[in-house]
A = this chain, B = another copy of it.
Amino acid sequence: MVSKTPEHPAQIEIPDEISGLRMTRQRQEVYRILQQERNHPTANDVFMRVKERLPHISLATVYNCLEALVQHGVIRQVNFERESSRYCPNLSEHGHFHDATTGVIHDVDFKPGINLADVLNLPPGAVIDDVEITLRGKLVSI
């Protein structure tokens, strides 16, 4: 993870290799957009956005890039019901709250010191590789 400050998206420096994955121009741009757009874009969102910089890129390539990045643990794929997958560069273990009113997806962190095994009755011998926590609801003014 080599991103600099997310406040200055234009300055994001992306190395030519991340966790063993060759960072081609296409993968760089896809990754850059995920760093900038923190609103969990779909593959198609990324596609439309990346075309500004790489007008000849194809949707299939965007899918390929996203898959390669997911596979190498550089980004995460997030699924809501059966909607299109969304992608997220936040690698810390976290869940997602989907505001039904606005459609906005908020990252939701665990409170410090919380361990899944303390909360769930896991089947004996279960070794967890991946956790997905998704909440749906509304944000009401308080």
Contact = CB atoms under 8 A, between A and B. Distances in A.
A58 to B, nearest CB: 20
A134 to B, nearest CB: 5
Contacts of A108: 120-123
Interface of A: 77, 79, 81-82, 85, 95, 97, 99-100, 106, 108-111, 114, 116, 118-142
Contact of A110 (B120, B124, B131): B120
A97 B122 contact: yes
B111 A118 contact: yes
A59 B27 CA distance: 40
A50 to B, nearest CB: 21
